[in-house]
Amino acid sequence: MSRSDAISDIESYFDDGVFRADLARRVAIRTESPIPERRPELYRYLTEEMSPYLEDMGFTSEVFDNPREDGGPFLVARYHESDGLPTVMTYGHGDVVRGYDDQWRDGLNPWLITEEGERWYGRGTADNKGQHTINLAAMKAVLKERGQLGFNVVALIETGEECGSPGLNEFCSSHKELFEADVFIASDGPRLQPDQPTIFMGSRGVFNFTMTLNLRDGGHHSGNWGGLLANPGVILSHALATIVDAKGQILVDGWKAAPMTNAVRQALAKLNVGGGDGGPEIDPSWGEPGLTAEEKVFGSNTFEILAFETGNPRNPVNAVPPRAVAHGHIRFVAGSDPKNFLPALRNHLDERGFEMIELEIEQDIMYATRLDPDHPWARWAVKSIEATAMRDVAVLPNLGGSLPNDVFAEVLGLPTIWVPHSYAGCSQHAPNEHVLAPVCRDALRIMTGLWWDLGAGDTPALGRTL
Ligand SMILES: [Zn+2]
């Protein structure tokens, strides 16, 4: 009964194919939360897959309906060993983005795991089924080896993260008693580099909106009306060109991040961002001038046009289209107030003669959070992971992507530690999503060590400092 025995157990779990089998079963459930007809699959993921797995480990579990009409269910599973022990809250999301089944490369199917060398393809392998599968299996290995965990657990699995986590804030706000804990430890998102263990303690926020220009009903023949009727596609593209320049620099007052603090700048200076083999190449001249690549993605606000449409791109006709729409998207760091984004854009457009463009917020805002890299729980996690991995851990003040971390950090008041198990080239949210098998195996070892150490007594929960 030792830490290294538990780590050997988890290596066998991976090497004997059990991890692959657990993950394959979960990937096969089509939990596409953006498709309303998939709601029963969201329930099935919790009731037929996750509840039995956790109950087998000694958890009690309950599935709650979402307080919102448009939201999927929540699973809350609790494991109580003793009052005097630290309690960890962990989290995962069982939903995935759309499968886009017909867009995957030949030979791949989003709902089956396909192995090609080190890559395991399948929707949700990276985001997030693979990640919570790793964390819970690691916990199970500690339980088996030690006979007990040495800590208490509350696990939350939600099923709406890919739609902006509708109802999560309300649910946690009204059930705070379920989530009393000393620390939050969970996994989502990518490692900084595939072979570098990474932790992050917050995330950028996300703000989605549409810009619509609706000039009239129906298209009109361009031979009769071209030159006489204003073209909404042309006008909207001119408006977009005032928001962001040709090199990706934001031009709207009030959209840029406040300057970074020295602590954040120093933490970022130690990092080296990149997607690893197979990841896209960074365009060095894109984005906010004067910032390093790490400062751009972890320390600043960025704007994207996600989609833009006028007329019918699949079947263009010789007509002046009636309407144009662009879907805009801002990622922002802690310290920016997203409630100011649309008023600032409204002013910006009005001053430039684009009053007729309508602006609308598209989904719930995910707020930005950040925890000091020197926080005792962050230092504890780094020490544990380094002891297992025998190499340096990348410490990010916040992730470049977005998570509903404000609910855990602010509503529930927990120190939040995220240990990501994917990598930036994993194609999450796109066709051909995959994980890297060696990273999964490494992550299983790291998490087993982390859970082992959490139950070994020497943690910030007991008031000891490192
Ligand atoms: Zn996702």
| Host H or E run for residue 233 | helix 232-243
The pLDDT of residue 466 is above 70: no
For residue 419, the CA-to-ligand 1 centroid distance in Å is: 15
For residue 128, the CA-to-ligand 1 centroid distance in Å is: 7
**pLDDT tens-digit readout, 339-383:** 999 999 999 999 999 999 999 999 778 899 988 788 899 999 999
- Helix axes 3-15 and 18-27, enclosed angle (nearest 10): 60
Q: How many CB atoms lie within 10 A of CB 12?
A: 11
3-class secondary structure, 118: coil
pTM: 0.83
3-class secondary structure, 318: coil
* Domains in the chain: ranges and CATH: 3-202+369-462 (3.40.630.10), 204-271+285-361 (3.30.70.360)
pLDDT at 168: 96
**pLDDT tens-digit readout, 52-101:** 999 999 999 999 999 999 899 999 999 999 999 999 999 999 999 999 99
For residue 305, the CA-to-ligand 1 centroid distance in Å is: 18
For residue 327, the CA-to-ligand 1 centroid distance in Å is: 18
For residue 338, the CA-to-ligand 1 centroid distance in Å is: 21
Residue 67 tokens read as: 């307080």
The pLDDT of residue 142 is above 70: yes
For residue 428, the CA-to-ligand 1 centroid distance in Å is: 6
For residue 197, the CA-to-ligand 1 centroid distance in Å is: 20
For residue 9, the CA-to-ligand 1 centroid distance in Å is: 30
For residue 17, the CA-to-ligand 1 centroid distance in Å is: 25
For residue 139, the CA-to-ligand 1 centroid distance in Å is: 23
Residues, the chain: 466
For residue 132, the CA-to-ligand 1 centroid distance in Å is: 13
DSSP summary character for residue 261:
P
For residue 344, the CA-to-ligand 1 centroid distance in Å is: 28
Strand partners, 200: 396, 418
Give the β-pairing of 394-396 and 198-200.
parallel
For residue 186, the CA-to-ligand 1 centroid distance in Å is: 14
For residue 383, the CA-to-ligand 1 centroid distance in Å is: 28
For residue 315, the CA-to-ligand 1 centroid distance in Å is: 31
For residue 256, the CA-to-ligand 1 centroid distance in Å is: 25
| Host H or E run for residue 80 | none
For residue 402, the CA-to-ligand 1 centroid distance in Å is: 9
**pLDDT tens-digit readout, 431-463:** 999 999 999 999 999 999 999 999 998 899 865
pLDDT at 365: 86
What burial letters (b/e) apply to 302-312, b meaning 16+ CB within 10 Å? Answer: bbeeeebebbe
For residue 135, the CA-to-ligand 1 centroid distance in Å is: 17
The pLDDT of residue 465 is above 50: no
For residue 55, the CA-to-ligand 1 centroid distance in Å is: 26
For residue 93, the CA-to-ligand 1 centroid distance in Å is: 9
Phi first, then psi: give them for residue 387, nearest 5 degrees.
-65, -35
